[in-house]
Amino acid sequence: MSSFSSWRFIPQIQEPTDHHDPAYWFLFQGDKLAVLPAAESVEIPCVLDPSELGITPLRRQFLGFVEREGQRVACFSAELDDTLALGDGWMVDNLRQLYTPLGDSWFQLAGRAVQIMEWDRTHQFCGRCGAPMLSVPNERAKRCTVCGLSNYPRLSPAIIIAVTREMKGEKRLLLARNHRFPAGRYSVLAGFVEPGESLEECAAREVMEEVGIEIDNIRYYASQPWPFPNSLMLGFTAEYAGGDFQLEDAEIAEADWFSPRNLPNLPQKPSIARQLIDAFVAENQ
Task: Summarize pLDDT for 89-98 with one digit per residue, the tens.
Answer: 999 999 989 9
* Helix-, strand-, coil-residue percentages of the chain, each rounded to 5: 20, 40, 40
The two beta strands, 170-178 and 32-38, are unpaired
- Give pLDDT tens digits for 146-191: 999 999 999 999 999 999 999 989 999 999 999 999 899 999 999 9
- Chain region(s) in the chain for CATH 3.90.79.10: 8-122, 156-283
Q: Which amino acid is at 118?
A: E
- Give pLDDT tens digits for 9-33: 999 999 888 778 999 999 999 999 9
Q: Which overall architecture, per CATH, does domain 156-283 show? A: Alpha-Beta Complex (3.90)
- pLDDT category at 6 given cuts 50, 70, 90 is low
Residue by residue, what is the 3-state secondary structure of 139-190? CCCEEECCCCCEECCCCEEEEEEEEEEEECCEEEEEEEEECCCCCCECECEE
Of 151, 231, 155, 154, nearest in space to 191 by CA: 231
Hey, what CATH topology would domain 8-122 get?
A: Nucleoside Triphosphate Pyrophosphohydrolase (3.90.79)
- pLDDT category at 226 given cuts 50, 70, 90 is very high
pTM for this predicted structure: 0.89
